[in-house]
């Protein structure tokens, strides 16, 4: 299996606090990998380090983009650059653009794949008009895939909770990623919605060919979805393996 993301010895210090310590992780192509652990274990910090919101103190993050043979080191890149390289993420507490319409939210995701500048916007030349039109159509297609087409002109803040979660995924998909990072996608969902999400994530992997790394507390979802599981506590990796292997072993929290 060829990897798409390889993280080696990742460490992150907040002053004297070591939030991440020597963490190794890899995601292969067409794989769903879950990152689990108790609250405060450093899972979201790990996401933030990979996506450039915090620059990691030490270690390396390599990505293997589709069109490149060589691994590319992405530590310390700005978040928008990381997204441009093909890593898209969602947030634990939903961070949509509340006063924009659903379609516009997705169109923001298309932003880094568009090129119109100030002059283009003012003169509205042929290329800009075409680009705009294509962005609208692409965004709409994504919304249809995610089952959000009915909300297209609705404000994001007026959507039901489950739909907001899906919209966040749709927005991330609009950036054309090869790896999708989902931070607790099922948080606050009822069993029905979780079931739908389960299918949706599998569909994204199978139909779009996007690998997925997710943080989740809902163990049922994790067990049914993931190909491999990493367990983190106190910023250290304490176990890794397949769902079948994990079920039998309990990883008690060490003090």
Partner 1 sequence: MIKFDEIKRAVLVSIWFMFLTFPIMVIRVNPVEHIVEWRWKNMVLVGIGSFLLSFVWNYLMKRKELGSKEAEAGEETIKISLFHRALNEKKIYLPALVIFGIFTISFPFIFSMYQTTIMVTALIYVMLGLGLNIVVGLAGLLDLGYVAFYAVGAYSYALLNYHFGLSFWIALPIGGALGAIFGILLGFPVLRLRGDYLAIVTLGFGEIIRIILENWNEFSFGPSGIANIPRPPLFGMDLSVHGSTTYIYYIMIVLCVFTIFVVNRLQDSRIGRAWIALREDEIACQAMGIDKARTKLTAFSLGATWAGMAGVMFAAKTTFVNPASFTLWESIIVLCIVVLGGMGSIIGVIAGALVLVLTPEYLRAFSEYRMLAFGTLLVVMMIFRPGGIIPNVRRTYKFESVKNADKS
Site residues, partner 1 (CB under 8 A): 51, 53, 78-80, 83-84, 88-89, 91, 95-101, 103-104, 107-109, 111-114, 116-118, 120-122, 124, 128, 131-132, 135-137, 140-141, 144, 152-153, 155, 171-172, 175
Which pairing describes strands 228-233 and 236-241: parallel, antiparallel, or unpaired? antiparallel
Q: How far is the CB of 111 from partner 1 (least distance, A)?
A: 5
Q: Tell me the closest approach of the beta carbon of residue 251 to partner 1, in angstroms.
A: 30
DSSP codes, 68-136: -SS-EE-TT--HHHHHHHTEEE--SS----TTSBHHHHHHHHHGGG----HHHHHHT-HHHHHHHHHHH
> Whole-number minimum distance, CB 184 to partner 1, in Å?
15
Nearest approach, Cβ of 122 to partner 1 (angstroms)?
Answer: 5
Q: Which residue has the tokens 């993301």?
A: 5
Shortest spacing between CB 95 and partner 1, in angstroms: 4
- φ, ψ for residue 22 (rounded to 5)? 55, 50
Sign of the Cα torsion 202, 207, 211, 212 reads negative
Residue 33 parent element (H or E) = strand 32-36
Using the minimum distance from each CB to partner 1, give the nearer residue, 75 or 83: 83
CA atoms within 13 A on the CB side of 63: 21
Structure tokens at 27: 């995601």
Q: Please name the residues in contact with 221: beta carbons below 8 A apart, sequence gap of 6 or more.
A: 186, 194, 197, 198
- Minimum distance, C-beta of residue 116 to partner 1, in the bound complex (Å): 5
Which residue, 124 or 220, has its beta carbon nearer to partner 1? 124
Q: Which is nearer to partner 1, 83 or 226 (CB)?
A: 83
Nearer Cβ to partner 1 (47/229): 47
Three-state secondary structure along 200-247?
HHHHHHHHHCCEEEEECCCHHHHHHHCCEEEEEECCEEEEEECHHHHH
């Amino acid at each position: 299996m060829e990897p798409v993301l390889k993280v080696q010895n990742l460490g992150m210090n907040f002053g004297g606090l070591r939030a991440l310590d020597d963490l190794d992780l890899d995601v292969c192509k067409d794989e769903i990998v879950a990152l689990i652990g108790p609250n405060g274990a450093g899972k979201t910090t790990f996401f933030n380090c990979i996506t450039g919101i915090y620059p990691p103190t030490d270690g390396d993050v390599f990505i293997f983009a589709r069109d490149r043979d060589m691994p590319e080191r992405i530590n310390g890149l700005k978040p928008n650059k990381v997204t441009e390289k093909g890593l898209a993420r969602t947030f634990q507490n939903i961070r949509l653009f509340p006063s924009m319409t659903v379609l516009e939210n997705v169109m923001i995701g298309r932003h880094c794949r568009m090129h119109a500048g100030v002059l283009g916007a003012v003169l509205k030349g042929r290329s800009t008009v075409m680009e705009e039109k294509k962005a609208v159509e692409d965004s709409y297609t994504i919304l249809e895939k995610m089952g959000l087409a009915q909300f297209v002109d609705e404000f994001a803040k007026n959507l039901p909770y489950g739909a907001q979660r899906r919209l966040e995924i749709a927005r991330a998909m609009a950036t054309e990623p090869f790896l999708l990072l989902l931070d607790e996608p099922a948080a606050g969902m009822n069993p029905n919605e979780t079931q739908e999400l389960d299918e949706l994530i599998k569909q994204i992997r199978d139909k779009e060919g996007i690998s997925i790394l997710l943080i989740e507390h809902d163990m049922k979802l994790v067990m049914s979805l993931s190909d491999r599981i990493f367990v983190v506590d106190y910023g250290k990796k304490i176990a890794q393996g397949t769902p079948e292997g994990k079920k039998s072993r309990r990883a008690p929290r060490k003090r």
